[in-house]
Amino acid sequence: MTLRSKTGWNGVLIACSTVLIATLIRSVLERFGNFYYLPLVPAVMATALLAGRLAVALAILLAIGTNLWLVQREDGLDAATNAALFAVIAWVIAEVCRRLIDSLEQARALTRDLAVREMLLDTIVASTPIVTLDREGRTRRVTPAAANLLRVDRLAAIAQPFGSLLPGFDETALTKARQGGEVLAPSSGPWTSGPSPLPGPPLTLHANVLPDDISPEHIILTLGDDSEAERIRRSERDLIARLSKVWRLNSMGEMAATLAHELNQPLSAAAVYLHASQVELAGLGPAADGPTKTIELAKAQLLRAGDIIRRMREHVATGARSVTEERASLIVLDLAPVFALIGQDTDTPIDLDMEETDDRVLADRIQIQQALANLVRNAVDAVIGREDARVTLTGRSHGSDGYEIAVSDNGDGIPAEQMDDIFHPMTTTKPGGMGLGLSVTRSIVESHGAALVVRRNPQGGATFSFRLPRLTEPDLP
């Protein structure tokens, strides 16, 4: 609401009232002398302060009319001249008053706006963990959010060296803060506050330096809670550990299946030889009863070992899987941090190009992720030493035929004479390799009703691909 009335009739009332009051005052002052127009000037000023220009013009006209009525002048030119001079002066004074009121209203609006902005800024700053330091590294200001992260009392922290609030913040860190930018934590670990039995969350520090003419604050430290990032890194490490565990278990299962197949025949042959020895000893009469019983016990243990190996082989071959409906693209994209770790040692870029529509399949997420991790690891090994090394993982929907995932590299490729042998257990081209990787990967893929296919790329390198099946009616619970 402004100081001036915006209603026309209010302006008329104000003009008439102020001129009437000024006229009464003029009548009183006339006892002491002739004042003419002077007492009427405040009437115009009051009207200008309280009403618009039309009311001011009305007040000026009423003042001139009142003065002409009260003061009888013989010279009409003199009366007109004084009236005109009064009108000009009164109008100028009225405009000055109007400008003053406009300025006051603008000042009031600006003050309200600044107050709102200051409240907003205070709210933002209060919710942001910020600490300001002077040139000596003493704390000058601590926001509530920063006090919570540092686990300190705000008032008690003022004027304290920041190193006493954040362990490890020494002169070296202060020197870095004076340069601006991120202030790295000491080598002993991330920035943490609080006592050692109950340390606070891991923190990040970012410094901004104020101009030299600002005092006493010189450095603004913005604190960041690194708990979420640390949780993500921990989840990545846990995922890698889980995949490694599954990999070891799959390798052991593949090795057990191979050993079961290879040991079954010599065990069977040994049992046959022991039985033949029993037959020959039976011809020697009662004297051979002792050795015969011993051989019988040995044969029983061989048959028992063969039975154990056979049951283990059947378990490996037909073991139950934890298959559920999954999104194939998410199975791959969830492994992005793992792929980054696989490629970072050799600085090999691993590109993911997954079609995220129509990607629902029936799969054991962990098993498929382990198979993909192994294929990507092999692809990275195949491009070591190449300047344009690149590994690409793609996913494409093939409608009811399933969802195809392919891992490609631009390495030297697989020689034609080895294409039929690379999936055999114990077959490897890597120094120190066990030759179980591709064998286990193929077993995982085939346990999902798919086939692991390898082909040579026209531009060089190899591509391994397989199609995960769709969820069908018999698979529904």
Judge whether 306 lies within some domain. Answer: yes
Q: What is the pLDDT of residues 361-388, one digit of tens each?
A: 999 888 888 889 889 998 998 888 888 8
CA–CA dist 326, 475 (Å, integer): 13
Q: Are residues 293 and 397 in the same domain?
A: no
Judge whether 2 lies within some domain. Answer: no
Among 225, 245, 262, the domain-final residue is: 225
Judge whether 175 lies within some domain. Answer: yes
Among 263, 295, 318, the domain-final residue is: 318
Full residue range of the structural domain in which residue 296 is found: 230-318
What end-to-end distance do the CA atoms of the chain give, in Å? 71
Cα angle: 344, vertex 347, 350; to 5 degrees: 75
Q: Pairing mode, if any, of strands 360-363 and 324-327? A: antiparallel
Sign of CA dihedral 196, 201, 204, 206: negative
Q: What is the pLDDT of residue 309?
A: 63
Q: Are residues 185 and 264 in the same domain?
A: no
CA of 396: how far to CAs of 65, 124, 407, 468, in Å?
95, 46, 12, 11
Q: Are residues 152 and 179 in the same domain?
A: yes
pTM over 0.85: no
Longest CA pairwise span in the chain (Å):
176
Q: Are residues 396 and 281 in the same domain?
A: no
Q: What is the pLDDT of residues 295-316, one digit of tens each?
A: 776 776 666 566 656 655 555 5
**What is the token pair recorded at 101?**
């009121």
Q: Are residues 314 and 331 in the same domain?
A: no
Amino acid at 42: P
**Strand runs (DSSP E) across 324-384, as ranges?**
324-327, 350-354, 360-363
Higher pLDDT, 291 or 177: 177
Residue 374's closest CA among 205, 253, 244, 462? 244
Q: What is the pLDDT of residues 389-443, one digit of tens each?
A: 899 999 999 998 999 999 999 888 888 777 776 766 545 555 444 455 787 788 8
**What is the token pair recorded at 457?**
């790329």
- The CATH number that applies at residue 301 is 1.10.287.130
Q: What is the pLDDT of residues 128-160, one digit of tens each?
A: 888 999 989 899 988 888 888 888 888 888 888
Concatenated DSSP letters of 414-442: --GGGTTTTTSTT--SSTT--S-HHHHHH
Among 124, 156, 184, the domain-final residue is: 124
Q: Is residue 466 over pLDDT 90?
A: yes
- The CATH number that applies at residue 193 is 3.30.450.20
**What is the token pair recorded at 34?**
């002739």
